[in-house]
Amino acid sequence: MKYKLLGPSGLKVSELCLGTMGFGTEWNWGVDQTASFKILDTFANAGGNFLDTANRYTEGSSERIIGEYIKNNRDHFVLATKYSLHDNLTNLNASGNNRKNLFRSVNESLKRLQTDYIDVLYLHIWDFLTPIDEVMRGFQDLVSQGKVNYVAISDTPAWIISSAQTMAQCLGWNKLVALQVEYSLIQRTPERELIPMAQHYGMSVTPWAPLAGGALTGKYLKGDKGRIPEQSKRLNERSVGITKVVMDVAQELGVEPSQVALKWTMQKPFTSIPIVGATKVSQLEENLKAITLQLSPEHIAKLNEASKIEMGFPHEFFEEAGVRQVTYGGFYDKIEKR
């Protein structure tokens, strides 16, 4: 295992983050505490220290299981959790990005996690109601109180995150260190705005569902099912076409498709630390081998071609010859690019 710095911070995290949404049986596809502990042991023994959970996962069981696991070695782990989604349905303000929910949710998470601090707190999903300054001020107060070390964001439009980062910079508040987005060979649309934005602010990208929930392992094409419903986009014609190319590349390299799909998210010109889930030790063991795999430029090009997306406006407009001519006065090819 190698380690990366999380965004513009000095925090050292393993190059793979363990997703723990499947810890707990409440959602009818996850695993119990004993099985979760075995997965955690495998990850920790391989040098993994970065764990991802959320207040919402498995109705709190994911946090409870992690709390039980790390309680005797808390400082060793970099514990990331999230707030925003409901963890009870009786309180109007027990969901959303608002300050009341932020403080309530963090206090509940701390109890379930049996700790007095969270290493990385993510806003989970943007609610389009709460002003961003309310969120950033709340984050800053939690950091000042010692309840949270670093703040980060997930599933939020790029323009909102940009304004948050500018505000933090101007006011000397803690900047958001990581951007959590769905990102895989099947879901590349964050390449349009979110990932360039993260690069601009030096944020690490922490892709969720890097295996598209298991679709990119190729197991659904071999008849071995998991938790993805048949009608899911992850199993439509386009996704199956991409998965077949992943399987071809894996065969050429003599490795498993999961390793190819995972490595594609890691071998990037920006800091990318995928959050990968597993409900079996054998799955995690297989995925951990992605660490030593190296994809050649030819293989990356083949995967990129199979999974390419329309970038849309303004990206495609910028590439038009006439637009380049008027923008660079004919010197485009002679100018060093950033």
Ligand X SMILES: NC(=O)c1ccc[n+]([C@@H]2O[C@H](COP(=O)([O-])OP(=O)(O)OC[C@H]3O[C@@H](n4cnc5c(N)ncnc54)[C@H](OP(=O)(O)O)[C@@H]3O)[C@@H](O)[C@H]2O)c1
Strand, helix or coil for residue 187: coil
The reply on whether position 14 binds ligand X by CB under 6 A is no
The reply on whether position 43 binds ligand X by CB under 6 A is no
| Token duo for residue 136 | 């950033």
> Burial letters for 54-81: b for 16+ Cβ neighbours within 10 Å, e otherwise?
bbbbbebbbbbbbbbbbeeeeeebbbbb
* Positions 245 through 264 that interact with ligand X (CB under 6 A): 258
What single DSSP character describes residue 173? P
Out of 211, 235, 247, 288, point to the residue binding ligand X (CB under 6 A).
211
Which residue lies nearer to ligand X by CB, 38 or 324? 38
Residue with tokens 């349009």: 192
| Token duo for residue 116 | 């007095």
The reply on whether position 287 binds ligand X by CB under 6 A is yes
The piece of 110-118, 132-140, 283-291, 316-324 that touches ligand X (CB under 6 A) is 283-291
The reply on whether position 291 binds ligand X by CB under 6 A is no
The nearest distance, CB 256 to ligand X, in angstroms, is 6
Binding residues for ligand X, total number by CB under 6 A: 29
Residue 83 annotated as catalytic: no
Angstrom distance (rounded) from CA 263 to CA 145: 38
* Positions 121 through 140 that interact with ligand X (CB under 6 A): 124
The reply on whether position 190 binds ligand X by CB under 6 A is no
Q: Is the peptide bond before 157 cis (omega within 30 degrees of 0)?
A: no
| Token duo for residue 219 | 């197991």
The reply on whether position 22 binds ligand X by CB under 6 A is yes
The nearest distance, CB 88 to ligand X, in angstroms, is 19
The reply on whether position 288 binds ligand X by CB under 6 A is no
Which residue lies nearer to ligand X by CB, 251 or 325? 251
The reply on whether position 47 binds ligand X by CB under 6 A is no
Which residue lies nearer to ligand X by CB, 7 or 277? 277
- Give the DSSP H/E element, type plus range, for residue 229: none
Whole-number Cα distances in Å, 229 to 29, 32, 186, 246, 278: 12, 22, 16, 21, 17
Which residue lies nearer to ligand X by CB, 100 or 227? 227
The residues, any chain, with a CB within 8 Å of residue 45's CB and separated by 6 or more, are none
Angstrom distance (rounded) from CA 199 to CA 153: 14
Say if residues 180 and 152 touch (Cβ distance below 8 Å). yes
Which residue lies nearer to ligand X by CB, 90 or 231? 231
Out of 101, 156, 180, 204, point to the residue binding ligand X (CB under 6 A).
180
Catalytic residue ranges: 57
Give residues in contact with ligand X (CB under 6 A): 19-22, 52, 124, 154-155, 180, 208-214, 217, 219, 226-227, 258, 275-279, 283, 286-287
